[in-house]
Amino acid sequence: MFAGIGLVILLVMVFGGFAFTGGDLEPVLHAIPHEMLIIGGAAVGALVAGNGMKELKAFGGGFAKVFKGPQYNKKDYLDVIFLVSSLMKKLRTEGPVALEPHIEDPKASTVFAEYPKLLKDSTLIHMITDTLRLVVISSGTLDPMAVEDVMDNALKTHHHDEIKPADMMQGLADALPALGIVAAVLGVVKTMGSIDKPPAILGGMIGSALVGTFLGILLAYGIVAPFAGRCKAVIEADAAIYGVVKQIIIASLHGHPLPLVIEAARSGISHANQPAFSDVFDGMRGR
């Protein structure tokens, strides 16, 4: 929502301010489609040339993240604490055999079924089930530090893949001013080919060429770069839920008491989504 509002403010203030100070929008608006054809086409071509289909799809998904924002809220963080804690409790009290059916087929699990939104996140579910599968097949003899290393590597790999759309946006933002100059240079070349025209016509052609530079800079620093920053922030915000999973599993494998396990889980959650200790502890009592 705020991305859309920001775009409206940006366009109104830039073009409205230009018109308010006496500028004539007609030649600018007339030149924009032609300049955008060059700048936008060059940008799309560069993206296609430098990336595969998987990366391009992720790039489109990155723009969706900008407008949708983080997918998880305070309730979701409570749910993931309850989910993983319930699984660890089952492992501790009933043993690996009782836990195995739940991690082998999460969609058929009564424990996972209580959290349908979390069940849709395949990365989250695989992280939980794959880690607990290691614990089950080792009959509880794994060193918690070794499990933590495995989870850290999984998180690093996942973050490396997830952050690519934001990096691509930033790379595009860095390139757009130069692409704007390309469009402007082509406009100047066109103008030089009409050097015998009257000054009024030449002035209009030069003005159109300068619109290319203007668009490249506006798109780069007014739209794409802020989108890249927002995309990165959303990705990092959503990644916090995986850290919660890691903290609960590792703290539980260390044999820490429940209050410490809860605090380990809460410590990695931003204040905006961090549930109160009492909410988590009271919720755990009924599980």
The pLDDT value given to residue 259 = 84
CB 32 within 8 A of CB 18: no
Residues 6+ apart with CB under 8 A from 243: 155, 268
Q: How far is CA 286 from CA 34, 78, 85, 272, in A?
A: 65, 14, 12, 25
For range 30-34, the mean pLDDT: 88
Q: Which residue has the tokens 């260390």?
A: 254
Kind and range of the H or E run holding 215: helix 199-217
d(CA 261, CA 183): 58
Residues 220-279 pLDDT 10s: 999 999 999 999 999 999 999 999 999 999 999 888 888 888 888 888 888 888 888 888
Predicted confidence (pLDDT) per residue in 48-98, tens digit: 999 999 999 999 999 999 999 999 999 999 999 999 999 998 888 888 888
Over residues 199-218, the pLDDT tens digits come to 777 777 888 888 989 999 99
Residue 101 has pLDDT above 70, yes or no: yes
pTM of the model: 0.86
In angstroms, the CA 176 to CA 41 distance is: 11
